[in-house]
Structure 1
């Protein structure tokens, strides 16, 4: 999650989910809870007419995995993705109750649920996201405005009774494009490390910066290693929860 757009939330959701799905025998699903035309489904090559979370909520018998799976697209990494509605008005109407129902359906069939959040902490669905999430993955760029937004997110969580969630968060610092001004990553690791459970820097990767379909095979070795380390860090908390993370 992040209050700032363009810092790599959706990229992190797809890549982290892809690593979990390809490295483990678990069923892994990512849900787009962004009310502003989320792009999660596009990052796995979902066609324009693919089912959305609205179709999931309309499944007549969600006790059957094939009916639930029919509402998802699957990436080459085995990650399953359920996209948001492509009509902005319908997407905006995705409520807290809708989100809770979606998670209730999915937790019967998936071991790990990732949620790609929007930037608004006050959107209706966000209350459900924060109530149900066991781990927050807070994504920031190394640019000053991105860092300030991450700080503001942690401050808001602490001020609204979510201090434990903030303290257990994992911060992902997306690498800056070569030549761009950035805060020293070592400074960010030290700073956010004092407020959260862990900080995981991820190097800049041209393939991910394209904004196209994410293919783990096209990542630089250093990038793939960083995401594997991120997955291992998030998984350290798996023994205490149902594996539901908000990104």
Structure 2
């Protein structure tokens, strides 16, 4: 259709439209249309199996399942009640509260239980303990009997003490006498001893279950007790007893002493709290050092036995320090009126302090059992 001349005239008469030119921020043209210039990853074709998954984490070693709990004992599966206190004010409170307030054992009772556990360490073979001193009157036989009684009362195996004193030993007087037989009778009949009941006919037993094999009461006869005799005696006893204690004489040159020292697994040296007693015990260690028993001295146990009430004039700290430098351990046994009597010994009649000291001594001896790590203080 031909354009109307009137319209063309009107368009010419209108003013020209104003064109907007952006300035400033808009002139920078910071905005871009994503559709006009898409990112490259938008245009990548989709894989036929979907979008790729992220890479798996680094492979680790397969974790093994924990092993099954094999211990199905009552102690392992059931919560054990707290042990009732056995002594002191804790026990009184426990009983007064009709057993409702149970504070458990106190530190002293726990210490005692730990020592008993040490004493009860098992033995697979016979363990031999030699008790000796150069000086008489220091309580060597008494310590042999009380140490043996403490070991026997806490252990379930058999413990025997042998009197090897050539000068009419008194070890058999520390337990009720059940037989007049001596070590000589045992050696005479050794060929016929095939069972424990056979040996039992030659020993006497105390309330603690400690057995004693007596020596001859005639010094002229007992002097003939030689190293060979002592070795034969041990050959018989070690078949039936786990612990053999030997009460040695005061003479280190006695004929049986060589076999005693050669067979001993542990050495207990006795000293009194006096100056001459300490010097004699130290001289005993000097003699052993000079005759090739250095290892025995280093592993020995020194016992300072108070055979009479302490006067306080001797500095016991210096005595203990002297033996601490030479022996594996040093124990002090306090004076006890029951031991001063010199008669049969009953552990129940001892003062609590004495029983505790003997238990400490027995635990130190047990530290030297095979398998236990016995160390010198500071070693």
Q: TM-score range by the shorter chain?
A: over 0.9
Confirm whether residue 43 of structure 1 aligns to residue 174 of structure 2: yes
What is the alpha-carbon distance in structure 2 between the residues aligned to residue 160 and residue 179 of structure 1? 34
Confirm whether residue 57 of structure 1 aligns to residue 193 of structure 2: no
Ranges in structure 1 where 5+ consecutive residues have no aligned partner: 242-247
From 192, 210, 214, give the equivalent of 1:79: 210
Q: TM-score, normalised by structure 2?
A: 0.62
For the aligned residue pairs, the C-alpha RMSD in angstroms reads: 1.4
Ranges in structure 2 where 5+ consecutive residues have no aligned partner: 1-131, 373-379
SS at match of 1:137: strand
Give 1 or 2: higher helix fraction.
1
Aligned to 1:131: 262
What is the alpha-carbon distance in structure 1 between the residues aligned to residue 311 and residue 225 of structure 2? 36
How far is 1:86 from its partner? 1.0
Structure (1 or 2) with the larger CA radius of gyration: 2
Aligned to 2:333: 202
What is the alpha-carbon distance in structure 2 between the residues aligned to residue 69 and residue 110 of structure 1? 11
SS at match of 1:200: strand
How far is 1:144 from its partner? 0.6
How far is 1:62 from its partner? 2.3
How far is 1:191 from its partner? 1.0
Say if 1:2 and 1:153, in contact at 8 Å, map to a contact too: yes
How far is 1:176 from its partner? 5.0
How far is 1:157 from its partner? 0.2
Aligned to 1:67: 198
Superposed CA offset, 1:4-46 (max 9, x none): 0010100000000000000011100000000000000011132
How far is 1:179 from its partner? 5.4
How far is 1:181 from its partner? 5.9
Q: TM-score, normalised by structure 1?
A: 0.94
How has the CA–CA distance of structure 1 residues 182 and 58 changed in structure 2, closer, same or farther, with 3 Å as cutoff? farther
Taking the TM superposition and a 5 Å limit, the aligned residue runs for 1:1-247 are 1-46=132-177, 50-59=180-189, 60-175=191-306, 177-178=308-309, 180=311, 183-239=314-370
Say if 1:177 and 1:204, in contact at 8 Å, map to a contact too: yes
What is the alpha-carbon distance in structure 2 between the residues aligned to residue 176 and residue 86 of structure 1? 24
- More RCO (CA 8 Å, sep 6+): 1
How far is 1:240 from its partner? 5.4
